[in-house]
Structure 1
Amino acid sequence: MGRNDLYITVPSIFRCPISLDVMKSPVSLCTGVTYDRASIQRWLDSGNNTCPATMQVLLSKEFVPNRNLQRFIQIWSDSIAHRQLEANSAVPSQDQIGLLVKQLDNSNFVSSLKKIVCFARESEENLEFLARIDGFLNAMFDFMRNMESDIKLIEQVVEILNLTLSKILEKKPLLESSSLSMILLVIQRGSLDSQIHSIRLLKSIAVDRESKLKIAEEEGLLQELVKSFSGEKDSSLIDASLSCLMEITMPKRVKIKAIQSGSIPELKKRLSEPNTSVSIIEKSLKLLETFSSCREGRVEIWHDSILLQAIVQKVLKVSNKATEHAVTILWCVCCLFRDEKAREAVANSNGMTKFLLVMQSNCSAAVRQMSADLLKTFRVNSKSCLSSYDTKTTHIMPY
């Protein structure tokens, strides 16, 4: 299909009622009608004292800049410019790309990169072709390491690397510290899409213990990953950040560093927020499960009764996966660490009833056993009516 069939429809609200052109500097009169500054100024300078659209007499000839509308017009204008650029950009063939990569050097890198980006975005087949080119990924990493802080160029390289690496199943190249610093720059200053590409690239590269440690030891990187899933962030960015942390926090040293970077309080906020997606809840609980496997994580979790209550609330409420993660966390804290305060917080959150129901649900044998262990713990320590309840009960059903 040809790419020259680009038709531009201008939203009527973007047109000046006087000139009918797209407004460059929209301003509003006291009547609430918005005009382009130049057009309404000429109208008023001609001696008119009415609003051209409504013909109301103006109580004041002052006008106020319409910043919101100006921002919308700019966003629309930028999108049109981008579409026109894409429409005028012919996608290179595989043969052209193959030759381009062979001749890739610093002198033609910028122009070549634009063609490679255009080629990569065109199809999955093109990405697979790039992934098969010998030396292509290493060349991209080399250029990224040698770049100065040109954020736009780095964003494009990161996008290409992320998309291409997603097609490689075998061992992937190890990131150098200089590459990590460039990726960190994109996470800090790049667009939303570029941040997501950067974080997914990190996850893709974290293939062994050495690479996970390299990522964790890059100054400020773990803190930025935590920041990426905190606050009111885009759900795709949150999901990517949680997935990346799940991948890199397997070594104990990385777990401890992630905990020290403030991961657990931010995960508590994610669990406590309403309308959080199932995927984000599952990944938040999985990370907490990972942290509960080391003493530092367990200590921080059992000190926070609100977090424990939030974890109990997710049992049998979200998904089987979320339930299994939640039970594992509670088992680590209450059975391994044996903290009375934690047990009390779990009991006060209706934890005992939840564990009885879990034992009757379609969960794994390991989680069923952990639920039984938790109930035995409460039988010994609790004065409630469930203290003598037989954990082999079969008549309680989870509905």
Structure 2
Amino acid sequence: MDNIEVPEYFICPISLQIMKDPVTAITGITYDRQSIERWLFETNNTTCPVSKQPLPRDSDLTPNNTLCRLIQAWCTLNAANGIDRIPTPKRPLSKLHPINLIRDLYQPDLQIKTLRKLEALAIENNRNRVFLVEAGLVNALISFITSCYDKQQMNGLEEALSLFYVVRASLAQLQGPLTENDEVFDSLVWALCCDYLPDSVVVKSHAAYALRVMVEKANPGLLERLKPEFFKSILCLLRAESSNISQQGKNSLLHALLDACPWGRNRVVMVESGAVFDLIEVELRSPDQKKTTELVLGILCHLCSCADGRAQLVNHTAGIGAVTKPILKVSSIADERAVSIIWLIAKYCGTSRVLEEMLRVGTVAKLCMVMQANSAVHLKEKAKEILRTNSDVWNDHWPCTEADWTFRC
């Protein structure tokens, strides 16, 4: 095959491989369908790779049937020389087909069959997933899931949540809130608490991801009306060691809590629900889980802006230690959040007991290391402020300095 000269116009400009399904863009350049669709739908480019002219994602890609037949004939002719034969390309999904399928999703007797058809299309390629989302799939799935909750039936719930997860990459392109109906939060929490489905671990992980997306893209008015039961249910799932939910699912729940934190009412409800204690336990049970640590520290940073939140953290026997341990071991994001928590604790709860605890668990040492490490300037300033403010207490107990250790750090 290496000695065979392939006609130049058989080669895709992107993949540099023989085209299996040549299509011509509105710029007049021919590409292999898979390559140009990946260029448009997965990397979100809007220019022609060759001509650099504008190439909108929704522009037509016209099948080049003549070239396709020429390539197929050439491959057949050279099959004995190791050239693979190219089958006739499969007809691509039209934009109208997803719309018709989604309409069927509202027909009770067609729902399960339709969900399976939709998922099969979504799994095929990113282009199909984009078309499905643009055709209104998300709203249809939300309606279906809330309907399951209203009827307290789980038939089709697994398929709906799985489909929501399959199209997850295309959801980022949606603008504005996904729904104005706060019942979707109750529905997803209900799905998270269902233990009667065959593969409940996967179902719960998918439900947790859907909940994360809905909170992330929720109307601010909906987030202000989140019920205490919403937070209690999530914390209960995070707290339980046998909650049949994966680590990825737990991270999705932590994402949802973090996105709800900017609202003061939500922070108060979370603290009253014992969130600080639960989050510390999550961190202690999740060693070497970078994302989990970052999320836990992010939520704790919000909750420690409340007096009751700070009180819960210092009253947990491992609270200060759990916040201190990740510093300079996880990521710059974790450093930022952990030092901010310690700054809040030292400033507003800096009793002798708390300051001595910081010395005992290595917080002071970590702060000095932040000063010496390649950390952000503002982080070093915050660490310096903590050290300088509490130097009177720590100076008598810090053995590694002979003079003004605060100045040296």
Q: Distance in 1 between matches of 2:126 and 2:168?
A: 12
Unaligned 5+ runs, structure 1: 1-89, 395-399
Inter-CA distance 103–298: structure 2 relative to 1 (3 Å threshold): same
Tell me the equivalent position of 2:234.
Answer: 225
Q: Is the 8 A contact 1:305 1:345 kept in 2?
A: no
Which of 155, 158, 162 aligns to 2:161? It is 158
Q: Which amino acid aligns with 2:261?
A: T
Aligned match of 1:109: 111
1:204 matched to 2:217? The reply is no
Deviation at 1:345, TM superposition (A): 0.9
Q: Give the direction of change, closer, same or farther, for the CA distance of 1:178–1:324 in structure 2 (3 Å limit).
A: closer
2:61 maps to none
The residue number in structure 1 matching 2:127 is 125
2: CA distance between counterparts of 1:91 and 1:328? 56
Counterpart secondary structure, 1:256: helix
Shift of 1:309: 1.9
Correspondent of 1:284 among 296, 318, 321: 296
Counterpart position of 1:384: 397
CA distance 1:327–1:109, change in 2 (3 Å): same
Distance 2:325 2:111 in 1: 54
Partner of 2:177: 172
Q: Give the Cα separation in 1 of the matches to 2:121 and 2:205.
A: 20
**224-233 vs 280-289, which moves further:** 224-233
Distance 1:124 1:223, change over 3 A: farther
Rounded to whole Å, the distance in 1 between the matches of 2:154 and 2:202 is: 13
Shift, 1:102, TM fit: 4.0
1:161-199 per-residue CA deviation (whole Å, 9 max, x = no partner) reads 444464233113225233333212210015222212222
**Which of residues 335, 347, 350 is equivalent to 1:335?**
347
Q: Which whole-Å deviations, capped at 9, do the CAs of 1:295-345 have from their partners, x for residues lacking one?
A: 221111122242112222222233332222211111111113433322121
Counterpart AA for 1:210: G
Does residue 315 (structure 1) correspond to residue 330 (structure 2)? The answer is no
> What is the letter of the counterpart of residue 126 of structure 2?
E
Give the 5 Å matches for 1:132-147. Answer: 132-133=134-135, 135-147=136-148
Taking a change above 3 Å as real, the CA distance of residues 348 and 105 of structure 1, as seen in their structure-2 partners, is: closer
Distance 1:223 1:144 in 2: 21
Partner of residue 193 from structure 2, selected from 185, 188, 196: 188
User: Percent same amino acid among aligned pairs?
Assistant: 17
State the Cα distance separating 1:258 from its structure 2 match.
Answer: 1.8
- RMSD between superposed Cα atoms in Å: 2.8
2:98 and 2:131 in contact (8 A); partners too: no
Task: Verify the 8 A CA contact 1:117 1:160 in the aligned structure 2.
Answer: yes
1:229 is paired with a residue of what secondary structure? helix
User: How many angstroms apart in 2 are the aligned matches of 1:274 and 1:117?
Assistant: 33
User: Which residue of 1 is the match for residue 43 of structure 2?
Assistant: none
Equivalent residues of 1:334, 1:343 under 8 A apart: yes
SS in 1 for 2:408: coil
Counterpart check, 1:239 vs 2:251: yes
Q: Is the 8 A contact 2:145 2:160 kept in 1?
A: yes
Distance 1:115 1:196, change over 3 A: same
User: Which segment drifts farther, 360-369 or 333-342?
Assistant: 333-342
SS of the aligned residue for 1:151 comes to coil
Aligned residues of 1:242 and 1:284 also touching (Cα < 8 A) = yes
Do 1:278 and 1:318's aligned partners in 2 also have CA atoms closer than 8 Å? yes
Give 3-state SS (helix, strand or coil) of 1:317's partner.
coil
- Residues 344 and 158 of structure 1, relative CA distance in 2, 3 Å threshold: same
Report if the CA contact (8 A) 1:144-1:157 is conserved. Answer: yes
Return the alpha-carbon distance in structure 2 between the equivalents of residues 388 and 295 of structure 1. Answer: 35
CA contact (8 A) 2:313 2:319 kept: yes
Within 5 Å, give how 1:46-125 maps onto structure 2.
Answer: 93-94=93-94, 95-107=96-108, 108-125=110-127
CA contact (8 A) 1:250 1:290 kept: yes
Q: Residues of 1 paired with 2:163 and 2:252: CA distance? A: 17
Native 8 Å contact 2:105 2:115 kept in 1? no
| Matched AA of 2:132 | L
Counterpart of 2:238 in structure 1: which amino acid? F
Is the contact made by 1:196 and 1:237 (CA closer than 8 Å) also made in structure 2? yes
- For residues 347 and 365 of structure 1, what CA distance do their matches in structure 2 show? 23
Q: Tell me, what secondary structure is at the counterpart of 1:150? A: coil
1:173 aligned counterpart, secondary structure = coil
Q: Give me the whole-angstrom Cα distance separating, in 1, the residues matched to 2:93 and 2:125.
A: 12
TM-score (norm 1): 0.68
Match of 1:325 among 329, 337, 343: 337
- Change in 2 beyond 3 A, CA 1:314/1:392: same
Deviations 1:55-82 (A, max 9, x none): xxxxxxxxxxxxxxxxxxxxxxxxxxxx
> Cα 1:275–1:181, aligned 2, differ >3 Å: closer, same or farther?
closer
What is the distance in 1 between the residues matched to 2:292 and 2:168?
A: 24
Describe the SS at the equivalent of 2:268. Answer: helix
Distance 1:144 1:328 in 2: 39
- Contact 1:202/1:244 (CA < 8 Å) preserved in 2? yes
